[in-house]
Amino acid sequence: MADVRVCAVGDVAPSAKECFVADGVKVCVVRIADDWYAIDDTCSHEDYSLCEGDLWEDEREIECWKHGSTFSLLTGEPQSLPATRPVPVYPVRVDGDDVIVTVP
DSSP state of 34: T
Q: Mean pLDDT score of the chain, rounded to an integer?
A: 97
pLDDT for 18: 98
pLDDT for 87: 98
Mean of the pLDDT values across residues 37-61? 97
* Burial tier of 83 (Cβ tally within 10 Å: 0-12, 13-18, 19+): buried
* Domain-wise residue ranges, the chain: 2-103
Q: Are 69 and 78 in contact (CB under 8 A)?
A: yes
pTM to 2 decimal places:
0.95
Q: Are 59 and 73 in contact (CB under 8 A)?
A: no
Give the pLDDT band of residue 23 (cuts 50, 70, 90): very high
Give the pLDDT band of residue 15 (cuts 50, 70, 90): very high
pLDDT for 77: 98
Mean of the pLDDT values across residues 54-71? 97
Mean of the pLDDT values across residues 90-102? 98
pLDDT for 10: 97
Domain 2-103: CATH class, spelled out? mainly beta
